Each structure stands twice: as C-alpha cells, then as structure tokens.
Amino acid sequence: MFKISYIQDKKNIFSKNPLKFAENTRIMEQEIQDISIKRIQEAIPQLRGIENELIIDYTEYSMPNDKHPIHHYPLRLDGLYIGVREKGKATFNINLKEYEVGPNDLVICSPGDLMQATIMDGIHLAQSMMVSSHFLKEMYISLNSFIPFFASQKDHPVFHLTDEEKDELKTYFLLVKDAAENNDYFRVDIIKRLLAAYLYKLGSILYRHRPELQEEASKPLKREEILFKEFIKLVSEHHRKERRVDFYADQLYLSPKHFSTVIKKVSGKTAGHWIDEYVILEAKTLLKYSAMSIQEVAYYMNFPNPSFFGKYFKHHTGMSPSEYKAQI
C-alpha cells in the first residue's frame, strides 16, 4: 500500500554473481524512493496522526534545550509537508536552496522535495502536518484544482501570510488535530473531510495571492541564474552516481573552468560544495529513516566501499555514519 525505503534481502546485496548484483541494484533503486510516513513514525513513535498516512504536530518547544523530532534530520518525504510558523525563526533548506522562515510564514514541500530545517534558539511553535501521497489520493478531492497553486509554490515554497490568513488556517488545522487525537468510529473518514477542507482553504488563500506569485514567477532570470538552476536539477537527478564537477559541466555544455566560475559567481559556493551538500543530505536521510545498514547506504550512494564512505561522511559532518545513525 505504501512505499517504504528499505531492503527486503540484505544478505545478497554484495553477491559476487554479476546477474544477482545487477538485479539487487534494480530492486534497491525501486525500493529506496522517498521516505514514507510509516518509516518516520517508526523512527519517531511520539508523533501523532494516522498510522502510515498522516503526521500532525503542534508542539511548543525551546531551542537549544529541546530538539524537534521532525525538523532535526533531513527528509525526502513521499507526501506533502505543510507548516505555518507561529513562533521562532528557522532556516529551511529545500532542494539545496535556503529560506529564512519566521512567524506567519507558510512552508509547502511537495512529494520528493529534500528538506531540512536549522532551528534558531528561542521558543518555537508551528502548525505542521505531513500527508502521504496515498492518503491524498484516497481523499477523492479535485487535486487538479490545486495543481496551479502548488506548482507555483514549487519554485517559491515559502510564503508570508497575514495574521488573518494564519488564523483561518489554524481553525481548520486544529479541527484536523483534534480529530486525529480522538478514537471516533469514523475517525479516518472525519479526518479526510476536515483535511480536504483545510486544503481547500489553503488553495483559496494562495488564489488570493495569485498575482504576486505570478509576478514572482515571471521575473526574468539571467543566463547564469538559469545555468545554476539547471545545475541543481542535475545534481538532484545524478548525485548518487556522479560527484565529478566535470560531469555536470559536460551536461551543460560548458568547460569545467567556466562552469565552476559561473556557479561560484551566482551562489557564492563552489560546484563541488553543492554536490557534496546534496550527497550528505541524501546519506543522512537514508541513515536516519531507512532500514539500510551503513554498508548498504555506501553501496547505494555509489561509494567504492564503506570505509571510503565513512571518511567522506565524517569529513563533511564531523561524525561517523554510525554516530549519526545512533542519534536520537
């Protein structure tokens, strides 16, 4: 019913039989997709919602004393993430682009987006929910009517709300939260209807701001900015197998030297830095939320051996894969 990122047969992954090796590769690529709600709930059992389908959170916490279970680790979700911040500031890294998020900011991440948040010190509170792709399909709402709004949010996933809009969404959010915490006989059906109402309200709010979103989307990009955007897209597609700068330069029909100059000029970081950052985020996601061993993560991420992967990971994070995996 729901995709889970784990390996069915760990014993045969490193088989010396070439045919078996190729078959295991194919199976891994099919199974290690986006992280499911089920895997998150298994890793963080205190989160509330509907098993396998929905996580809803409205917990006030203080940094650096507390650690928010959802935002502490990078995540690529097989579903929709929606968050409305009420208190505190954070930096969201979504598909390698950073966004400063504060009170009244709405964050929407589509299925497959790679997300991590760095939470600043202070008191924090946000209306947060994660909805599986499967559950969205089962709600029988007209998802096509939401496509124009969520499509515009893909390039602009953070949007500032007025106090009135934040409170409008909060009314519906709390209804969903209360229903999720009750044990009514028709609990799941009630949640589906209330969640549909929440999404329609969210769509209505985005519709009001459609001129602003369209204006932002229609701003012309410089050639260097277009190249950088294409580079990040290529990294998201090929980072598992390609970590060489010259590969991405070739894909964009540029010399490695000119390519590196453009990326540094536009972003302030080297192309190698962006590649490493995406690889590390992906590795962290697999280490924390999948059932893969460190050896399997190293193999899946196309490292020659676990030892090389361990050194690479520690160089970029300051801790070994096993230390990171053991974190609560």
**pTM attached to this predicted model:** 0.69
Q: Cβ distance 131 to 138 under 8 Å?
A: no
Q: Does domain 50-217 have CATH number 2.60.120.280?
A: yes
Q: Identify the pLDDT of residue 214.
A: 56
| Residue 40 pLDDT > 90 | no
Task: Tell me which CATH homologous superfamily contains domain 223-326.
Answer: Homeodomain-like (1.10.10.60)
Distance CA 124, CA 90 (A): 9
* Cα 81 to Cα 136: distance, rounded to the nearest angstrom: 12
Q: What is the overall mean pLDDT for the chain?
A: 81
Between 7 and 261, residue with greater pLDDT: 261
- Write down the domain spans for the chain: 50-217, 223-326
Is the confidence at residue 120, as pLDDT, over 60? yes
Nearest one of 262, 235, 240, 266 to 251, comparing CA atoms = 235
Cα 309 to Cα 156, 260, 270, 320, 325, distances in angstroms: 34, 25, 21, 9, 14
Q: Is the pLDDT of residue 143 over 70?
A: no
Q: Which helix (H) or strand (E) element contains residue 93?
A: strand 90-94
| Amino acid sitting at position 114 | L
Q: Which residue in 56, 60, 39 sits closest to 48, CA to CA?
A: 56
| Residue 49 clears pLDDT 70, i.e. is over it | yes
